[in-house]
Structure 1
Amino acid sequence: MLNRGPNTDRRLRADQVVVQAVSLPVTAAEALTSAICRSGLEHWRHLRGDRAMPNRNAVDPSAMRPLLPYTFLLDALERGTDFRYRLVGTDIVAHTPRDNTGRRLSEIADQGTQQQLTALYASVVAGRTPRFQRIAYRTRMGLRSWYETVVCPLGDPSGAGDVAMLIGWAEHFHQPVAETGSA
């Protein structure tokens, strides 16, 4: 499993990564840049076994302790048109304006990536399969930053086959603006 120190921000050369505007299905873990996201996806696949998706009750925080700072859990509300953050890991909180635990995504208009996240989460609910995305943003200190996230469905305990929750992992990366030669 993963063994990371307290600060996991990684700097990459600007030409190493392409940030996409839409989410993509995860066909192979090798498509993911982030070791954290790859580990999270493998954990989800282990929980899933031979089913389409694991039951939400299969998630045991103690079994993924090294991943917890990068983990988020969401309730899928209103048939996947809105989402409530049930858990937001400490590393994710460190990269956002506030801890959004307990808040609906529709209430977080000032975060800047709400529209992209809503589309990503809704696509996971609709497709009932993991998807990933790289989302770009700029920090207050002028770093061109992005994060990679992988989001996976968790089934309803009733066995109806509906997506009840989403589990995901995110890792942040920073690239100084000066590296690219443009803003």
Structure 2
Amino acid sequence: MNLVRGALMAHPGQFAIKRSAFLFLKRITLDDVPEDSLTRVAYEFWRGLAPEPALPARTDFRPEMVPRDVLPWVFLMDVIRAPNGALDYRYRLNGTRNVALVGRDPSQRLASEVFDNGDRRFMLESFNKTVDEKTATFWVGDIPHDRINQINIWRGLFPLANDRENVDQLLGIAVPRSNDMDA
């Protein structure tokens, strides 16, 4: 096991991602995601849950069906709709590697509470795009990190809809791109 990976697993709080600013995070297409990325594996799993054009429902998603190398990196969020139409997201499930990567477990917390002001707007907007567009979205980024300068990630967000049309949950994955922290 790589030293950095072992340190993250042993002391996740010691390597918390700084929440003050993202160095770089941009939207990409599925074609930009490498064939061997766990983000692509997660997408193929999600797309296999229901035939297109229908969206998969939460009842289609069972954690035991998620590929073993993907499960530790996934997160599941409920879409919270305010009466004024504003959206927020409650973290329901967080994979162990995802928790170790960010240094904390946001389970049962709202995304608006988890992210600092600088990150909150962007993160909520990226979640909102996935909900509004009712399709998977993909992101690549360089995120600041306290001890190792930055973490280069691939991220995928995948909508779930109990009625197969209106998104009520997001399944997501965020995995490092560097060899230092690959799954």
Length-normalised TM-score, structure 2: 0.74
Cα displacement (A) at 1:89: 0.7
Letter in 2 for 1:32: V
Which residue of the partner structure matches residue 31 of structure 1?
32
Which residue of the partner structure matches residue 169 of structure 2?
165
Unmatched 5+ stretches in structure 2:
9-22
Which residue of the partner structure matches residue 16 of structure 1?
none
Which residue of the partner structure matches residue 136 of structure 2?
130
Which residue of the partner structure matches residue 58 of structure 2?
56
Cα displacement (A) at 1:137: 1.8
Unmatched 5+ stretches in structure 1:
1-6, 10-18, 177-183
Alignment partners' CA distance in 2, 1:87 and 1:162: 21
Cα displacement (A) at 1:164: 0.8
> Which range moves more in the overlay, 99-108 or 43-52?
43-52
Which residue of the partner structure matches residue 98 of structure 1?
104
Q: SS of the counterpart of 1:125?
A: helix
Which residue of the partner structure matches residue 69 of structure 1?
72
Moved over 4 A (4+): none
Q: SS of the counterpart of 2:26?
A: coil
Cα displacement (A) at 1:113: 3.8
- What is the number of equivalent residue pairs in this alignment? 156
Cα displacement (A) at 1:107: 0.6
Q: SS of the counterpart of 1:94?
A: helix
Equivalent residue runs for 1:2-13 within 5 Å = 7=5
Which residue of the partner structure matches residue 3 of structure 1?
none
Which residue of the partner structure matches residue 15 of structure 2?
none
1:26-72 deviation digits (Å, cap 9, x = unpaired)? 4x4x4213611010000011112133311111001111141210111
1:129-177 deviation digits (Å, cap 9, x = unpaired)? 0001123222222423221110011012xx272101011111023599x
Alignment partners' CA distance in 2, 1:20 and 1:139: 12
1:5-28 deviation digits (Å, cap 9, x = unpaired)? xx499xxxxxxxxx854324x4x4
Q: SS of the counterpart of 1:47?
A: coil
Letter in 2 for 1:98: R
Root-mean-square deviation over aligned CA pairs: 2.7
